Structure 1
């Protein structure tokens, strides 16, 4: 994503938003990345009810004079190597879009990222009912417009990520996320009650930067998004539905598969075959129940079906695809598997997830 010669010059302003209790971490983040010349914005009412929106309203107003784009980082962001250069390439490629540089591994958007990775694409659409905003870039006019929107359209207790998504919908701003997330999440203790969600790490945060291409390939649209609901520990699917308030209708994943002629018996039978060849099966069985394994498998299977439907067979050998699929199981299980075991269980389940995607893609061909 090299900047073309005729691309207008990019002027980026950056702030780090934080609660005063995390000011030290925010200052450290600024110090680690002097190239960003980031300014610190803290909660204007730190003794008030916990509210990220209160600080976000200040952060998005704080666009530096002459900036074309504005980056807001939360204090618990971990930036990838070569962050600044990669970010400028990304902005140059999509100057009018909202760019979420992080999406957490158990989100709906994480599965859009996985489909895009399986297809060899660089960008994926945001498909959640909130905007991933741990690290977010907006065009400067859109950033400055958020305060007016928030003053008119939000109430005390609203969240910044939902308010931002609604603002972007009102302005017609496209929302995308790079498949190779540029930011990970440090997972400190939450100040707004999010610890009940378990660890929230990146969907795809490769150890090294992917090869730069002359232009990004984008997964433009998904009409069905397989999803593991980590609140209820169920495999579901979100289907586009213009009659629904947020444009999506939730159905059990097995119903979405049955509509395609794929029965639950077929899916479970494929899982039994896969488990027979899974390394360390006994250890996995001691850590994850068969009920949960079935739901994870169904999610992966549906992901393979949807990837095939989107226009191509999944490439399970691609490095970014392997990275993205490896986070599916830990993102699903982060509330029910102890944090100390999560990475190990995720690593052991990665072959099962990949097998599920491959078998789903094969079933999606109708063969």
Structure 2
């Protein structure tokens, strides 16, 4: 095991955690991420356990490493791009656990979309949810405590991402996610019974010099799930509760009927030109409302932003496009609608969500100016 020197005082070791059933796939990833080592599940006969394998992977760092990158065996990444982001993330957040993937229908995935709309390059992870472990960097100095934390539960808990999140909360260690995700989740079939989940916001890393921003945790998070638009509202105790988009808008001073009228007018034009796909109106209403809320919250100052450089960059159009694409797929999961409905409808869906985001952004900006004038 050899560590890769990234910068003065920073050395990174890399492992791929795997199960023997995926040996060839893990070897391919390790070769692409050289000098990476494959660490396999030590129990070849029992039920596959990500947590059991993760403990061995976490411990398998090089002696000289300051940080340790653990990849799962069902990801794909560009080595140079990922290591560039890892280097930058460690420089900015040396004591944090860093993640470079979030599932599209998770709260962390929703946070990535909102952070991208606010122009952020990194975001705090949602602490009450699992910490995504497809590609995670651990400061080596935390690994012994992490493994000790796991020991009392290792015999009966299986999910490494949930236990890692518990550890971060217990020891108040920051969990930071890159915006966008920098690895792809390969659909190779789950060994643990989890349904395959795509990434929330796949894109390219913004190189140093463009300026960077960290998005802090919000108390309202737009969330599209099972065909219904919501806002997840975080209380003072840190717990989240689900608000229907109508209730969320009313609480923000937005007339939901006006928003619905804007969508109706938009759909009327597309229907008249014959460009409207067969997606149900109710699905499109929730999609529109969620994108509208993302734009509103991003423009109204409700996303805490911390500049990390001298010249913060602008909102990236490519990341917004990725956000809208994943938002529609997130909302489709758990419904009876066929996923193929979005294949031919993607141009329409992208245009609709972009228009909703722009309308929400304009409304949020107006409210922000009014609140500033009254302050």
- Is this a same-fold pair by TM over 0.5? yes
Alignment pair present for 1:204 and 2:201: yes
Distance 2:171 2:165 in 1: 10
Using the TM superposition, give the Cα deviation of residue 73 of structure 1 relative to its aligned residue in structure 2, in angstroms. 0.3
Which shows bigger deviation, 252-261 or 315-324?
315-324
Q: How many residues align?
A: 349
The answer for unaligned runs of 5 or more in structure 1 is 1-6
Partner of 1:362: 362
Q: 2:246 aligns with which of 231, 251, 254?
A: 254
* CA spacing shift, 1:350–1:280, aligned 2, 3 Å: farther
Distance 1:321 1:276 in 2: 25
Alignment pair present for 1:241 and 2:235: yes
Distance 2:155 2:124 in 1: 27
Alignment pair present for 1:219 and 2:210: no
Which shows bigger deviation, 357-366 or 91-100?
357-366
Using the TM superposition, give the Cα deviation of residue 62 of structure 1 relative to its aligned residue in structure 2, in angstroms. 1.6
* CA spacing shift, 1:63–1:254, aligned 2, 3 Å: same
Tell me, yes or no, if the aligned pair for 1:296 and 1:332 is still in contact at 8 Å.
yes
Distance 2:65 2:258 in 1: 55
Question: What do the CA deviations read for 1:186-212 (whole angstroms, capped 9, x no partner)?
Answer: 1221111122xxx52222222x54343
1:1-367 superposed matches below 5 A = 8-34=8-34, 37-80=35-78, 82=80, 83-127=82-126, 129-153=129-153, 156-195=156-195, 199-206=196-203, 208-213=204-209, 216-230=212-226, 233-243=227-237, 247-278=239-270, 285-286=277-278, 288-310=279-301, 318-336=317-335, 337-338=337-338, 340=340, 342-364=342-364, 365-366=366-367
Distance 2:301 2:113 in 1: 12
Tell me, yes or no, if the aligned pair for 1:113 and 1:124 is still in contact at 8 Å.
yes
Distance 2:338 2:272 in 1: 19
Distance 1:57 1:224 in 2: 34
Partner of 2:310: none
Distance 1:39 1:114 in 2: 33
Using the TM superposition, give the Cα deviation of residue 153 of structure 1 relative to its aligned residue in structure 2, in angstroms. 4.7
Helix, strand or coil at the partner of 1:12: strand
* CA spacing shift, 1:291–1:14, aligned 2, 3 Å: same
Using the TM superposition, give the Cα deviation of residue 174 of structure 1 relative to its aligned residue in structure 2, in angstroms. 0.8
Distance 1:274 1:251 in 2: 25
Tell me, yes or no, if the aligned pair for 1:118 and 1:318 is still in contact at 8 Å.
no
Using the TM superposition, give the Cα deviation of residue 279 of structure 1 relative to its aligned residue in structure 2, in angstroms. 8.4
Tell me, yes or no, if the aligned pair for 1:56 and 1:160 is still in contact at 8 Å.
yes
Q: TM-score, normalised by structure 1?
A: 0.86
Question: What do the CA deviations read for 1:117-152 (whole angstroms, capped 9, x no partner)?
Answer: 222221112126110111101111223322111113
The answer for unaligned runs of 5 or more in structure 2 is 1-6, 304-313, 371-375
RMSD after superposition? 2.6
